[in-house]
Structure 1
Amino acid sequence: MYDVESLLHPSAKGTRQVFFAGKGGVGKTTVACLTAVHTARQGYRTLLLTTDPAAHTGSVLGRKVTEQVEPVDGVSGLSAAKIDQKQATEDYKKGILDDARAKFDEATIRVMTEELASPCTEEMAAFQRFIDLSSTPGFDVTIFDTAPTGHTLRLLELPLDWSEQIRLKAGATEGLSEGDRQQKDRFDRVLDAMRDPGLTTFSFVMYPESTPILEAQRASEELATIGVATQLVVANLLIAEEQATTPFFQKRRKMQLEYLDDMKRRFVGAALLQVPMMDSDIRGIDKLDMLDKIVFGGIA
């Protein structure tokens, strides 16, 4: 089994990338923010990125998070940014069409504009921005708060589907331009890094109930088909023994413990990180520091 801390630290190979994925509403953003604060407090220069348009990273940190990589006040070594899907798409389309106008007539440009009005373009734009932000130099650890599972899988599989958009960008010309070759090489390097457990930790966040566990397992199996292994699973919203003071909570805790065993069976070899249910929302650096001590304090 993997060791949790080793999965969060940079390796001799370079910057550690840590992805948190899972069903919507399982607490990915809180876990990602918690982990980012934890690694930064350990002295690792940490970049927290969110690819989820519904994420509330700023609310959890208690700090404004913008499309630009900016330091997070109150945590030395921690920076954060988010991907603005709409802006990324507009920038991506503008870049392709501006380049095409120097090569093709207006009729071709109109066809390209129509073809760019597709969900695939939005996905490619988000992935391009994802690469740009994740390539920001000067960080030891990059932590990704991702969109719900289906969107995340699509994002991670995009390097395999780059060819159609590259073809569109190339237009009527034969072969790839030097810029297109560079983009292909960049996509390939990203996928290679995701497949390398020395550089990337892929984890699923779930609460201990059937639906999120099954969804995470299916997604984990799909990722395995492109060579991405699941090394960490996070059990969120666990009822502590001292909290189980009524028959209701005692029954819920018993059920959770059974599901914890189920998680261990389904994700053999993956490290397990347990995050307790708190009596209030995690908002602000002080609460994240408090949760850091509870979750990571006992890990050797």
Structure 2
Amino acid sequence: MADIESLLRPSAKGSRQVFFAGKGGVGKTTMACLTAVHAARQGYQTLLLTTDPAAHTGSVLGKNVTDQVEAIDGVPALFAAKIDQKQATEDYKKGILDDARAKFDEDTIRTMTEELASPCTEEMAAFQRFIDLSSTPGFDVIVFDTAPTGHTLRLLELPLDWSEQIRLKATGATEAMSAGDRQQKDRFDRAVSAMRDPELTTFSFVMYPESTPILEAYRASQELAAIGVATQLVVANLLIAEEQATTPFFQKRRRLQLGYLDDMRRRFAEAALLMVPMMDSDIRGIDKLDMLDKIVFGGIV
């Protein structure tokens, strides 16, 4: 089992990608922001990427996050950008259809437009934008507040690029993949290969120490494991500290949490465990993130 710090810094092979997965509301965005601040405070040029359509990441950082890579005030070496999934999807569709209009009739274009309405198109578009941003030179650590699912990665592994599959469905043609589609497929292949490499990528699941989040995270981790992507880190969020358990209610909740921590250790035996305590206020702004950094990582650095 790797130590936690080694999972959050670049290796001799190159920059480090850190993905946070988990069900909605368990604290992925806060953990992504915390990890990004932690890496940047150690001097690593760090890029934080989010797909959150709300302004949650900006709220945690205390700065509006746009679709452009911009520096975060108060933390030298930290930058952030938002992947606008709606805009990314529209751009992705437009690129495919603009290329197709030079080659096919309107009936084929209509069929391709219908095929592009698939949710798979959104997944591919977001992933393509992620690759574009994460390929920005000069970053040591890239933190992503959402992880691709096993379904997304299986799509990426198919012999043909998604846009090429759409074209083949619409035309029935079987000619070789175009040079542009081959180049895109090669980019996706390299990205998936990097995700399988524990020296380049850390997959982390964030969860509360409760039954449902643990079970959902475990199932998702098994789906990823089936395609060669290991879970290296699990985060137990909102833990009740012993000194906080001063009433019968909180004492009982703490005992339950300790039992669920044991369950997490059993299910994720090969992963490092990072424990994050329940705080008495929301984590908003760099000062609060720095405070949480000292609490969570203080015994590690």
TM-score w.r.t. length of structure 1: 0.94
Change (3 A) 1:43 1:164: closer
Q: Check whether the contact 1:29–1:55 (CA below 8 A) recurs between aligned residues.
A: no
* Aligned-residue offset at 1:239: 0.7
SS at match of 1:90: helix
Return the alpha-carbon distance in structure 1 between the equivalents of residues 224 and 53 of structure 2: 22
Return the alpha-carbon distance in structure 1 between the equivalents of residues 221 and 105 of structure 2: 46
Q: Residue 218 of structure 2 aligns to which amino acid in structure 1?
A: Q
**2:209 aligned with 1:212, yes or no?**
no
**2:300 aligned with 1:299, yes or no?**
yes
**What does 1:174-213 align with in structure 2 at a 5 Å threshold?**
174-213=175-214
**Percent identity over the alignment?**
81
Match of 1:230 in 2: 231
Q: Check whether the contact 1:51–1:130 (CA below 8 A) recurs between aligned residues.
A: no
Match of 1:158 in 2: 155
Q: Check whether the contact 2:121–2:162 (CA below 8 A) recurs between aligned residues.
A: no
Match of 2:111 in 1: 111
Return the alpha-carbon distance in structure 2 between the equivalents of residues 56 and 158 of structure 1: 29
Match of 1:62 in 2: 62
Q: Check whether the contact 2:155–2:162 (CA below 8 A) recurs between aligned residues.
A: no
SS at match of 1:233: strand
Which 5+ residue runs of structure 2 have no aligned equivalent?
A: none
Return the alpha-carbon distance in structure 2 between the equivalents of residues 97 and 24 of structure 1: 34
Return the alpha-carbon distance in structure 1 between the equivalents of residues 123 and 269 of structure 2: 32
Return the alpha-carbon distance in structure 2 between the equivalents of residues 14 and 22 of structure 1: 26
Q: Check whether the contact 2:71–2:77 (CA below 8 A) recurs between aligned residues.
A: yes
Return the alpha-carbon distance in structure 2 between the equivalents of residues 224 and 285 of structure 1: 35
Match of 1:167 in 2: 165
Q: Check whether the contact 1:127–1:158 (CA below 8 A) recurs between aligned residues.
A: no
Match of 2:143 in 1: 143
Q: Residue 72 of structure 1 aligns to which amino acid in structure 2?
A: I
SS at match of 1:230: coil
Match of 2:20 in 1: 20
* Aligned-residue offset at 1:53: 3.4
* Aligned-residue offset at 1:164: 4.5
| Cα deviation digits, residues 167-188 of structure 1 (max 9, x gap) | 3246546111111111111111
* Aligned-residue offset at 1:270: 0.8
Return the alpha-carbon distance in structure 2 between the equivalents of residues 55 and 292 of structure 1: 22
Return the alpha-carbon distance in structure 2 between the equivalents of residues 118 and 271 of structure 1: 36
* Aligned-residue offset at 1:109: 1.9
* Aligned-residue offset at 1:159: 0.9
Return the alpha-carbon distance in structure 2 between the equivalents of residues 74 and 80 of structure 1: 13
Q: Check whether the contact 2:96–2:163 (CA below 8 A) recurs between aligned residues.
A: no
Match of 1:250 in 2: 251
* Aligned-residue offset at 1:51: 2.7
Q: Check whether the contact 1:40–1:76 (CA below 8 A) recurs between aligned residues.
A: yes
Match of 2:134 in 1: 134
Return the alpha-carbon distance in structure 1 between the equivalents of residues 266 and 194 of structure 2: 27
Match of 1:39 in 2: 39
Q: Residue 136 of structure 2 aligns to which amino acid in structure 1?
A: T
Coordinate RMSD, CA, aligned = 1.6
Return the alpha-carbon distance in structure 2 between the equivalents of residues 153 and 62 of structure 1: 32
Return the alpha-carbon distance in structure 2 between the equivalents of residues 134 and 169 of structure 1: 28
Q: Check whether the contact 1:41–1:76 (CA below 8 A) recurs between aligned residues.
A: yes
* Aligned-residue offset at 1:264: 0.8
Match of 2:79 in 1: 79
The alignment of Structure 1 onto Structure 2 pairs a total of residues equal to 297
* Aligned-residue offset at 1:101: 1.7
Match of 2:124 in 1: 124
Q: Residue 183 of structure 1 aligns to which amino acid in structure 2?
A: Q
| Cα deviation digits, residues 215-248 of structure 1 (max 9, x gap) | 1111111100110001100000011111111111
SS at match of 2:204: strand
Match of 2:284 in 1: 283
| Cα deviation digits, residues 69-88 of structure 1 (max 9, x gap) | 11111111011111111101
